[in-house]
Amino acid sequence: MNGVRVAGVGLTKFGRHSERTGRDLFAEAALHAMEDAGVPRDDVEGLNYGNFMGALAEHQGHQAPLMAEAAGLTCPATRYEEACASAGVAAREAVKSIRSGEADVILAGGMERMTNLSTAATTEALAIAADELFEVRQGMTFPGAYALMARAYFETFGGDREDLAHVAVKNHANAVSNEYAQYQREITVEEAMESVPVAEPLHLFDACPITDGASALVFVSEAYAETHDIDAPVAVVGTGQGSDNLALHDREHLAQTPAATRAAEMAYDEAGIGPDDVEVAEVHDCFTIAEVLALESLGLYEPGEAIGAARRGETTRDGRLPVNLSGGLKAKGHPVGATGGSQIVELTRLLRGDHPNSDVVPDARVGVTHNAGGTVASAVVHVLEVAE
């Protein structure tokens, strides 16, 4: 099996880009990634592109060849859709292709353009990641769905809104120095607690923003990197994917996310590590409760223990396990089709030492990304490691 390295990474700034097109955003990220890698366009053998709601937001289907054209590529291009895990799946499939020997160089990533729609229209577009027949028609939205999951967690394990407020405060603090983040400002626990309710117990600062942006990664085989003298110190040593019932009412419980647990177990097994080996993590915190659920599904905390992790200072920048040093979806932003790729970009930068928060984890060698779709009906986990 061929080893896989992250040769180059690229991002747009996350935020409001309603005056730009999706192809423009993705081209920017892709060109940055190829320039960072030092890989010629002609060597790219495939584009794996993640996007969720482009057909609704831009009335543009069949986006993959369009994005290849925008990036100056003539290789085969495929779009992957797995709700908010779209780019994570695109990256996973790139890793699998290189491991198998099918390709040596693949560009993967994703894009979402959302702010050109009204808040109501964006909410409606995002809702199609839920069960249309049994959830959407009954008025379910994702803030409402995650509120149900938060309530179930509190009833099962304990915890309260202040625990969640500490998650938001932590991630906003991490985003201050990240030039790609949508919100580069700190908030206080009091601000989070006093913000307007969205769906109890979740308030405004428990939710990620509506975001435009793109991410891109150049994955190469270890043999290609060696032959072409490419400096690519970060390897993808494990990847996993899991699924669950789409609708919340069809699940065994609401306070755990077994799709992410299965994805993590698969990724850890491939990497030959366990949760205790993880030194830094980028997880899918579309809502503050989602970070709690992610940490437990990744095995980094036992069920019921992660709710107080940020409050206790364990997952803060100076804690034993820094989580979401990018700012997470909460403060960096969540252009849904790009997020999974963005997490790998951020973790790669952290591990190779050129992230503004790399000084927080100067000796870290192993990190994990966790990307979820919908209410974690889909999950993708990657293990990254600094190669010897």
| Token pair in block for residue 157 | 């394990």
**Rounded CA separation 92/94 (Å):** 5
pLDDT, one tens digit per residue, over 92-143 is 999 999 999 999 999 999 999 999 999 999 999 999 999 999 999 999 999 9
Q: What is the pLDDT of residues 217-261, one digit of tens each?
A: 999 999 999 999 999 999 999 999 999 999 999 999 999 999 999
Strand 234-243: give its sheet, edge to edge: 77-80, 47-50, 105-112, 213-221, 4-11, 234-243, 378-386, 366-373, 280-282
Per the confidence metrics, is the pTM higher than 0.85? yes
In the set 334, 355, 370, 382, the catalytic residue is 334
Residue 145 located in a structural domain = no
For residue 136, give the DSSP letter. G
Is residue 160 one of the residues assigned to a domain? no
Q: Is 326 exposed, middle or buried (0-12, 13-18, 19+ CB in 10 A)?
A: buried
Q: Which of 339, 336, 364 is nearest to 352 (CA)?
A: 364
In a domain, 125, yes or no: no
- Say yes or no to pLDDT of 388 above 80: no
| Domain assignment of residue 376, given as a range | 4-117+209-386
Would you place residue 4 in the very low, low, confident or very high pLDDT band (cuts 50, 70, 90)?
very high
Q: Which residue has the tokens 């609704």?
A: 56
Residue of 217, 218, 216, 182 lying closest to 27 (CA atoms): 216
Residue 128 lies in a domain: no
253 is catalytic: no
Instruction: Round to whole Å and give the CA distance between 275 and 230.
Output: 30
Inter-residue contact 96 to 380 (CB < 8 Å):
no
Residue 239 domain-assigned? Answer: yes
pLDDT band at residue 303 using 50, 70 and 90 as cut-offs: very high
> Contact 88/82 with Cβ under 8 angstroms?
yes
334 is catalytic: yes
Q: How far apart are CA 125 and CA 213, in angstroms?
A: 17
| 351 found inside a domain | yes
Active-site option among 32, 75, 84, 284: 84
- Residue 126's Cβ-side half-sphere holds a number of Cα atoms within 13 Å equal to 31
Residue 305 neighbours by CB distance under 10 Å: 15
172, part of any domain = no
Q: What is the mean pLDDT of residues 169-187?
A: 98
pLDDT of residue 99: 98
**Considering the domain boundaries, does residue 154 fall inside one?**
no
Provide the number of structural domains found in the chain. 1
Pairing of strands 213-221, 105-112: antiparallel
What CATH number corresponds to the domain at position 81?
Answer: 3.40.47.10
